[in-house]
């Protein structure tokens, strides 16, 4: 979350606290039938966050940035598209004009034209979840099935369509450039892009 000491944010941060209280936990209503696990859907997160923001008269303006778009091959040998998107969101207090900026990263993989849309959906979902400390009851370290699936179907990078796989990818905490390998590991383990040093900090927490 981006703030600056040169402009006031007291009123909007007070409203952010109220929003955090109202969206502190979201039920996992989504079900992955193939891998047999439940998850909090993007629709559930956006609906609850939007309701709380409107109630507290905070406007949300989102802008997506395509970080990378690659050709990958899945475990069955079929070619798919893998997109990484950063969603930049400005939260504006409609009463005071104060604002705060938040961001989230997301990946989307698809054999058709939906890779970018999937990445956008994931990135806005995790932007809100991290900004408002939303709990869904998930523990990534305890998700054995997902780890086994990821190990069995790790995509093989192919020529990059837009820039290189490391171009523009940075740690969301410190801004340090990271490689696509570190990015993939961080997204699977922490749900966001972190450098190795920041991963250790999050692990410690």
Task: Write out the chain's pLDDT in tens, 205 residues.
Answer: 554 446 789 999 999 999 999 998 877 766 666 556 666 788 899 999 999 999 999 999 999 999 999 999 887 888 999 999 999 999 999 999 999 999 999 999 999 899 999 999 999 999 999 999 988 765 554 455 555 555 555 554 444 433 334 445 777 777 788 888 888 888 888 778 888 888 888 776 5
Phi, psi of 29 (to 5 degrees): -95, -10
pLDDT at 197: 86
Report pLDDT for 181. 83
Spatial distance between the Cα atoms of 99 and 131, rounded to a whole number of angstroms: 14
What's the rounded Cα separation, in Å, for the pair 7 and 16?
Answer: 17
Q: Which domains does the chain have, with CATH numbers?
A: 10-142 (3.30.390)
Instruction: Output DSSP code: residue 153.
Output: S
pTM over 0.75: no
Torsion, CA 87, CA 147, CA 44, CA 26, rounded to 10: -110
Which residue, 41, 27, 39, 42, is CA-closest to 145? 39
- Per-residue pLDDT, 31: 66
According to the model, what pLDDT value does residue 54 have? Answer: 97
């Amino acid at each position: 979350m981006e703030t600056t000491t040169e402009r006031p944010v007291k009123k909007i941060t007070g409203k952010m606290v109220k929003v955090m209280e109202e969206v502190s936990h979201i039920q996992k209503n989504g079900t992955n039938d193939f891998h047999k696990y439940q998850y909090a859907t993007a629709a559930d997160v956006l609906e609850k966050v939007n309701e709380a923001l409107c109630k507290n008269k905070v406007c949300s303006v989102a802008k997506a940035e395509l970080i990378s778009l690659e050709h990958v091959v899945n475990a069955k040998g079929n070619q798919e598209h893998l997109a990484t998107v950063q969603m930049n969101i400005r939260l504006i207090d409609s009463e005071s004009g104060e604002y705060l900026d938040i961001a989230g990263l997301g990946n989307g993989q698809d054999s058709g034209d939906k890779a970018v849309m999937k990445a956008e959906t994931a990135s806005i979902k995790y932007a809100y979840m991290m900004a408002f400390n939303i709990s869904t009851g998930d523990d990534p370290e305890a998700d054995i099935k997902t780890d086994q699936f990821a190990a069995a179907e790790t995509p093989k990078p192919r020529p990059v369509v837009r820039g290189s796989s490391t171009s523009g990818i940075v740690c969301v905490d410190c801004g340090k450039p990271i490689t696509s390998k570190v990015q993939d590991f961080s997204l699977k383990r922490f749900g966001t892009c972190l450098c190795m040093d920041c991963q250790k900090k999050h692990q410690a927490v």
